[in-house]
């Protein structure tokens, strides 16, 4: 056993290391997962932005062309005298209303009769139409033959009217940082900027393409209402990195910071826990656990009949640790059984004399759930009592409700201890989850009323309190009752009146050291 104790520090270090490595790995996984997710999201956002740009440009160009076609149809249909003031005025208004229209003309065959816009005298008659559609629309894509000045115009004619369009204004790329181009029937109509090298739409899948060779994200949007039209928008993927890098770096730095903090926190906590647990194990091994005794008093006579033994751990720095804190740690580190045996030994050492000489006197010792499952505890207990020549009745055991939950081993041990002559008390009753019927199946002698119920006597209308029912229940099970946490005469009165035999609490005495307790007990005489 001492050998295992010596190995402990090495094992602890390994454990800490393992916890650390695990937490770092976990944090890194999380970090990269988050990073990947952010990166992925930013790419998706960027792609969507680009796709939206291509779609918007396409729809805008299309609506402009549809608008022009509608205008041509209206002009042709109108019953109006050609080249009358009204006719010319109308054409002027329509031309001014649209930024992309450079002129509107009225023709007879190939003679421009009149019109509006800047092409007053110059008549564009390109030698070959780019496309004559079945509906009669003729289109001349921008070419040197359709140029006026430096601008190659896009001409559309329907019936006797034609429109000259500035294709640059079909693609509104103001406030755009992408490059974009508008194709009509696979012919580049306009691009922005003019010198942009854009991939042909015919070489692209509709939607988004990632050109990793040239580091480009390319979006193609196609529509086919008047003409087959394509918009290709291109964005260097480097731009994406530029745009999102600052936020990614910020996120990364923050993430790393959080990881460091997290790992530190895990390290500190695990180290503390481990050292705490190791220290406790050590304290138990070296017998640095003391026992305090809280007197248990007959409520009607006020005489002390026994005491509850409470383990006390004073750390090397003098700090006294509450059992509420170290008992769970001892349970976790599997040293509770040693702690219990230590307490029993201490009690026998300190109170052996008293117990031997007062056969009505007994000390209550707490057993944890783990103790009840320990195969050797009964044997070791017998050995201790036998060598001190004490009867089993000198030691009563307290077990918590939780310890009773469904364990055949516990049930067997309780039965075994009782057969030897130990009385069994149930502690903290009413705070757990066992039912009366379940409690009945255990062999018990005493029920300890929890302080919470006793407190209620002082503050609430007691008659409606749970304590009344618990007392009734204890009576029906023929259990003795010990009330815990008594703080006032009023409580003593009430409890005694309701048939509770004994009690403990600050009203009588706080937990005392062995010497103090012996003095306290002696005074009773």
Partner 1 sequence: MLAKAVSQEPEPLTPPTVGFYLDVQNASLLPLAQHGLQLTRLKDHIHLIIPGAATFDTNSASLTPAAQEVLDLLSSLLLDYDKTLIAISGHSDSLGDPNYNQRLSEQRADAVGQYLNNKGVLPRRLVILGLGSSLPLVDNDSPENRAINRRVELELWPLVSNTVQNN
**DSSP 8-state secondary structure symbol assigned to residue 312:** E
Q: Does 135 bind partner 1 (CB under 8 A)?
A: yes
CB closer to partner 1, 161 vs 448: 161
Q: What is the SS3 assignment for 109?
A: coil
* 206 scored as a contact of partner 1 (CB under 8 A): no
**How many Å separate Cα 6 from the centre of its chain?**
40
Where helices occur in 375-513 by DSSP H, the ranges are: 377-388, 408-420, 436-440, 451-459, 466-476, 489-497
Q: Binding of partner 1 at residue 318 (CB under 8 A)?
A: no
Q: Among the candidate windows 119-127, 232-240, 283-291, 375-383, which touches partner 1 by CB under 8 A?
A: 119-127
Name which of residues 139 to 178 contact partner 1 (CB under 8 A): 157, 159
Work out which of 109, 461, 489, 515 binds partner 1, going by CB under 8 A. Answer: 109
Q: Which of 26, 117, 126, 199 binds partner 1 (CB under 8 A)?
A: 126
Cα atoms found within 13 Å of the Cα of residue 59, Cβ hemisphere only: 6
Closer CB to partner 1, 113 or 239, in the complex: 113
Does 518 sit near partner 1 (CB under 8 A)? no
Q: What mask, x for binding partner 1 by CB under 8 A, covers residues 6 to 25?
A: --------------------
For residue 224, give the 3-state DSSP assignment: strand
Longest CA pairwise span in the chain (Å) = 139
Quick one: which of 426, 405, 495, 399 has its CA closest to 454? 495
Contact call for residues 403 and 428 (beta carbons, < 8 A) = no
Binding partner 1 (rule: CB under 8 A), the pick from 137, 165, 208, 457 is 137
Q: Output the six-digit token pair for 197.
A: 């090298």
Instruction: Choose the stretch contacting partner 1; rule: CB under 8 A; options: 129-137, 214-222, 226-234, 247-255.
Output: 129-137
**Beta carbon nearer to partner 1, 113 or 434:** 113
Contact 185, 227 (CB under 8 A): yes
In this complex, which beta carbon is closest to partner 1, that of residue 6 or of residue 77?
77
Which of these ranges, 8-16, 102-110, 220-228, 494-502, lies near partner 1 under the rule CB under 8 A?
102-110
Residues 72-101 close enough to bind partner 1 by CB under 8 A: none
Which is nearest to 105 in space by CA: 84, 127, 83? 83
Spatial CA neighbour of 347 closest among 522, 514, 510: 514
Nearest to residue 427, comparing CAs of 520, 294, 283?
A: 294
Phi then psi dihedrals of residue 379, to 5 deg: -65, -45
- Residue from 34, 44, 122, 132 in contact with partner 1 (CB under 8 A): 132
- Rounded least distance, CB 148 to partner 1, Å: 15
- Exactly one of 136, 206, 328, 499 binds partner 1 (CB under 8 A); which one? 136
Locate 524 and state its tokens: 């009773």
Among 89-97, 130-138, 270-278, 331-339, the segment contacting partner 1 (CB under 8 A): 130-138
Judged by beta carbon, residue 132 or residue 245, the one nearer partner 1 is: 132
CB of 171 to partner 1, least distance (A): 26
Minimum CB separation of residue 187 from partner 1 in Å reads 16
Asked if 485 touches partner 1 (CB under 8 A), the answer is no
Q: Is 328 in the site for partner 1 (CB under 8 A)?
A: no
- C-alpha–C-alpha distance, residues 472 and 330, integer Å: 36
- Among 373, 393, 443, 396, smallest CA distance to 415 is for 443
E strands of 21-143, at which residues?
101-108, 111-117, 131-132, 137-140
Instruction: Work out which of 40, 74, 108, 460 binds partner 1, going by CB under 8 A.
Output: 108
Query: Which one of residues 10, 79, 127, 459 is an interface residue with partner 1 (CB under 8 A)?
Result: 127
Instruction: Give, in order, the Cα–Cα distances in Å from 316 to each of 143, 164, 271, 313, 515.
Output: 96, 97, 18, 9, 22
Contacts with partner 1 by CB under 8 A lie at: 107-110, 125-129, 132, 134-138, 157, 159
């Amino acid at each position: 056993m001492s050998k295992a104790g010596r190995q402990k520090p090495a094992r602890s270090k390994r454990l800490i290391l393992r916890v650390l490595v695990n937490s770092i790995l976990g944090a890194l996984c999380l970090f990269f997962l988050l990073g990947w997710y952010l990166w992925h999201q930013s790419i998706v956002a960027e792609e969507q932005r680009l796709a939206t740009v291509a779609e918007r440009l396409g729809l805008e160009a299309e609506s402009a062309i549809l608008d022009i076609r509608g205008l041509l149809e209206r002009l042709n249909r109108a019953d109006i005298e050609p080249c009358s003031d009204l006719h010319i005025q109308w054409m002027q208004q329509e031309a001014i209303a649209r930024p992309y229209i450079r002129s509107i003309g009225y023709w007879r065959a190939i003679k421009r009769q009149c019109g509006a816009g800047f092409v007053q005298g110059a008549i564009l008659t390109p030698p070959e139409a780019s496309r004559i559609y079945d509906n009669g629309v003729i289109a001349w894509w921008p070419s040197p033959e359709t140029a006026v000045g430096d601008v190659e115009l896009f001409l559309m004619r329907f019936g006797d009217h034609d429109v000259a369009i500035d294709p640059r204004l079909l693609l509104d790329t103001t406030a755009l940082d992408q490059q974009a181009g508008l194709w009509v029937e696979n012919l580049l109509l306009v691009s922005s900027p003019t010198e942009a090298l854009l991939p042909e739409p015919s070489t692209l899948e509709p939607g988004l393409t990632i050109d990793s060779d040239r580091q480009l994200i390319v979006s193609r949007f196609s529509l086919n209402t008047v003409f087959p039209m394509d918009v290709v928008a291109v964005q260097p993927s480097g731009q994406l990195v530029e745009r999102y890098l600052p936020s990614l770096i910020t996120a990364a730095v923050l993430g790393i910071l959080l990881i460091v903090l997290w790992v530190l926190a895990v390290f500190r906590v695990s180290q503390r826990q481990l050292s705490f647990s190791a220290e406790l194990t050590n304290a138990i091994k070296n017998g640095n656990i003391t026992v305090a005794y809280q007197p248990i008093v007959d409520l009607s006579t006020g005489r002390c009949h026994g005491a509850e033994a409470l383990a006390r751990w004073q750390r090397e720095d003098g700090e006294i640790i509450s059992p509420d804190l170290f008992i769970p740690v001892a349970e976790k580190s599997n040293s509770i059984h040693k702690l219990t045996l230590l307490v029993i030994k201490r009690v026998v050492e300190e109170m052996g004399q008293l117990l031997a000489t007062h056969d009505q006197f007994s000390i209550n010792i707490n057993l944890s759930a783990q103790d009840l499952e320990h195969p050797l505890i009964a044997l070791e207990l017998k050995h201790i009592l036998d060598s001190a020549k004490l009867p089993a009745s000198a030691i009563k055991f307290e077990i918590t409700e939780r310890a009773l939950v469904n364990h055949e081993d516990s049930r067997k041990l309780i039965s075994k201890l009782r057969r030897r002559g130990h009385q069994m008390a149930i502690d903290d009753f009413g705070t757990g989850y066992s039912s009366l019927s379940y409690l009945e199946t255990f062999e018990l002698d005493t029920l300890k009323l929890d302080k919470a119920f006793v407190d209620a006597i002082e503050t609430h209308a007691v008659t409606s309190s749970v304590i009344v029912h618990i007392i009734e229940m204890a009576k029906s099970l023929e259990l003795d009752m010990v009330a815990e946490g008594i703080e006032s005469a009023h409580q003593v009165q009430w409890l005694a009146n309701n048939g509770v035999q004994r009690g403990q609490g600050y009203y009588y005495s706080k937990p005392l050291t062995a010497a103090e307790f012996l003095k306290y007990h002696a005074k009773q005489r």
